[in-house]
Structure 1
Amino acid sequence: MHLIDGAGRWTAPPGGAGNDWVEQLRVPDLSVGTYCIPAGGVDDQSPHTEDEIYVVTSGRARIVTPDASADVAPGSVVFVPAGEPHHFTDVTEDLTLLVVFGPAYGSRTG
């Protein structure tokens, strides 16, 4: 067992950066981290080569993919398959996302 300290907890982006990503656990088959976007911020991520689950722990925004969009708030859980473009927009409250990648983030070459 391993308790993952800080996972899903808001952390202000360092030094005025737009967003903050911290990986808190990494094993070959999955990784867990926290992604934070401040209110009014812009999500500039690129599609990933791994499947991904987002759990919204705080904040409000909209997630947009080429085929759909949805409002998200605390308790929302979103699955994004590997390779699917996606962005959080309309971040109206500081957004904190617990992120689970399978396999571990960046472990597949695309």
Structure 2
Amino acid sequence: MRIIEGAGQWSDSGNDWVEQLKVPDLSVGTYCIPAGGVDTQSPHTEDEIYVVTQGRARIVTPDGAAEIGPGAVIFVPAGEEHRFVDVTEDLALLVVFGPAYGSRASGLA
């Protein structure tokens, strides 16, 4: 067992991804975007789950858009374009990648 300290907690260092745990089959980290900030991420080679722990925004994918806030859980399959926009409150996201972030052969940015 391991307690993952700081996972999903807001950090005021601007757009920031911090990986708190990495094992071969998954990784866990926190992604923060300040209110009014711009999400600059690119599609990932791994499946991904976001859990909103703080803040409000919209997520936009090719399939549509949705308002998100604390407690929202979002699945994004590997390779899917996605972006958080209209960040109206500092956004903190607990992020789980499967397999671990960056572990698949890169065919995506």
TM over 0.5: yes
TM-score by length of 2: 0.96
RMSD, aligned α-carbons: 0.6
Q: Which runs of 4+ in 1 moved over 4 A?
A: none
C-alpha separation in 1, matches of 2:4 and 2:64: 32
1:23 counterpart (14, 19, 23): 19
Other-structure match for 2:68: 72
The amino acid across from 1:3 in the alignment is I
Other-structure match for 2:39: 43
Other-structure match for 2:7: 7
Please report how far the alpha carbon of residue 102 of structure 1 lies from its aligned counterpart in structure 2 after TM superposition.
0.1
C-alpha separation in 1, matches of 2:30 and 2:23: 16
1:102 counterpart (85, 94, 98): 98
The percent of aligned pairs where both chains have the same amino acid is 79
C-alpha separation in 2, matches of 1:108 and 1:12: 30
C-alpha separation in 2, matches of 1:12 and 1:27: 27
Superposed CA deviations along residues 79-101 of structure 1, whole A, max 9, x for unmatched, are 00000000000000000000000
TM-score by length of 1: 0.95
Number of residue pairs matched by the alignment: 106
SS at the partner of 2:12?
Answer: coil
C-alpha separation in 1, matches of 2:64 and 2:3: 34
The amino acid across from 2:65 in the alignment is S
Which structure 2 residue ranges, 5 or more long, are not aligned?
none
SS at the partner of 1:55?
Answer: strand
C-alpha separation in 1, matches of 2:59 and 2:102: 22
C-alpha separation in 2, matches of 1:20 and 1:67: 26
